[in-house]
Structure 1
Amino acid sequence: MKIPILFEDNHLLLVEKPINIPVQADSSGDLDLLTILKNDLKSRYQKPGNVYLGLVHRLDRPVGGAMVFAKTSKAASRLSDMIRKNVIERNYLAVVHGKPDKKGGQLVHYLHKDTRKNKVSVVSSNHSHAKKAVLDYEVIESKNGFSLLSVNLHTGRPHQIRVQLSAMGNPIFGDQKYRGHLQKPGQQLALWAHSLFFEHPVRREPVGVYSLPPNRYPWNLWGTLTGENKYLNLIGHHAK
């Protein structure tokens, strides 16, 4: 499988994750992104032995888009610290059911993950295993009973965007796990990791990449999403 490379140097590898493959090996036994990329590095650079590639963040299996991996342990350590401190800008695009009551705002919830069921729930702040989850959203446009949202993460909880948007009353199109009764079997989750912006962990230079969702329903309700698209020009200061 050929993985699109968005940026690469001696310390970093930024790629476009395909939909429906796990980021790392799991119980499914399916080929995972980390293994694919390690094999690719080993082949391209003719490296003997094991190839180092640090996983510093994750995307859910059905989610595609921009991801950053570390090619050195120094970069991995610094990137992990940057993610903990929320200094990496992570923007997502999502198509949701309905139209949010507000044009935009911040969502704050407390989440708990049931590891046995692999499902996350909104709980009270005093729950013994509650994790605070924060995101900002902006409605780009609504049409045909759906809305295109721009989402920026402040925390990186499992299933966070899916659960928080569902709790707001606007579940993501195709999400079979959260508010699945609104979905049809076989629909693909319409959540995409659109961009990453951060300071290079070693060179201290700005790094930024974009990844665009596929040109198919429901994304194509807003035309072909390209860099020239009028909707993407509304997303964040980097796209203006």
Structure 2
Amino acid sequence: MVQVLYADKDILVAVKPAGVESQAAKRFAPDMVSEIRKYLVIHKLCTPGKEPYVGVIHRLDKPVSGVMVYALSKNAAAALSRQVQDRKLEKIYGAVVCGKPEKDVDKFVDYLEKSVDGNESYVVDHGGKCGKRAELSYEALESLEDGGNGILTLLRIRLETGRHHQIRVQFASRGLPLFGDRKYGTGAAAAAGPLALCAMSLSFVHPSTGKPMTFSVPPSGGAFSKFKFFQDA
């Protein structure tokens, strides 16, 4: 199941499919950590007879696909985690929203708070005690009319912070829910297909060599297939 883009003794970069948990899952559902451990054992990239160490550095929501990096040692995990804290791990997403933003290029800054059960997030006033600052910038790449779904817009999004459901909440709060978002969206497009959100590029510094690294995967399927932008790239 795992599509590995790169692996060495310190890190493994893979593409997480939509519908798979990015960390260890409860019950018997598939998850990336378990699949990566299997990959390391099968390809003899770990010590025989010992469960491989797989450190989760960042997360993607279950319905989101895209590029992720995992640490294969505790030292690598600590170094990569510092990059996350210092905002040096750059994440670029592709998304399809219902509607068209007022500006082709813009930046959103909000404060988000989780619901009591932790299953949803919402925008709160700056003065909220539990609100966490959420920042992202975006560029509109292409818009089209999609019959009963109305106008759809393809976006490239640079995530500055990593809050719970951040992209989905910030766009939905402005009347631009993501295509296929059953949690925050409304109307036909909310249930028309899979969530149109993909972590299409990840950049960071290798924890041991210090070499800048970038890995990319083009969004595909679902609402993304309606646009020519990535097909012509």
TM-score, structure 2 normalization: 0.91
Q: Once the 2 structures are TM-superposed, how far is the Cα of residue 51 of structure 1 from its aligned partner?
A: 0.8
* Aligned counterpart, 1:33: 32
* Aligned counterpart, 1:185: 191
Q: Structure 1: how far apart are the matches of 2:192 and 2:226?
A: 19
1:149 maps to which of 135, 155, 162: 155
Distance 1:27 1:124, change over 3 A: farther
Q: Once the 2 structures are TM-superposed, how far is the Cα of residue 115 of structure 1 from its aligned partner?
A: 5.0
Mapping for residues 35-74 of structure 1, pairs under 5 Å? 35-45=34-44, 47-74=48-75
* Sequence identity percentage: 35
Q: Structure 2: how far apart are the matches of 1:184 and 1:149?
A: 17
Unpaired runs of 5+ residues, structure 2, are: 146-150
* Aligned counterpart, 1:22: 21
Q: Structure 2: how far apart are the matches of 1:185 and 1:172?
A: 11
Using the TM superposition, name which of 73-82 and 35-44 deviates more.
35-44
Unpaired runs of 5+ residues, structure 1, are: 231-240
* Aligned counterpart, 1:218: 223
Q: Once the 2 structures are TM-superposed, how far is the Cα of residue 186 of structure 1 from its aligned partner?
A: 6.0
1:100/1:169 contact within 8 Å kept: no
Residue 209, structure 1, aligned to residue 215, structure 2: yes
Letter in 1 for 2:161: T
Q: Once the 2 structures are TM-superposed, how far is the Cα of residue 185 of structure 1 from its aligned partner?
A: 3.5
2:136/2:158 contact within 8 Å kept: yes
Distance 1:224 1:98, change over 3 A: closer
Paired positions, count: 226
TM-score, structure 1 normalization: 0.89
Q: Once the 2 structures are TM-superposed, how far is the Cα of residue 207 of structure 1 from its aligned partner?
A: 0.7
Letter in 1 for 2:100: K
* Aligned counterpart, 1:196: 202
2:17/2:66 contact within 8 Å kept: yes
Q: Once the 2 structures are TM-superposed, how far is the Cα of residue 206 of structure 1 from its aligned partner?
A: 1.3
SS in structure 1 opposite 2:130? coil
* CA RMSD, 1 decimal: 1.7
SS in structure 1 opposite 2:80? helix
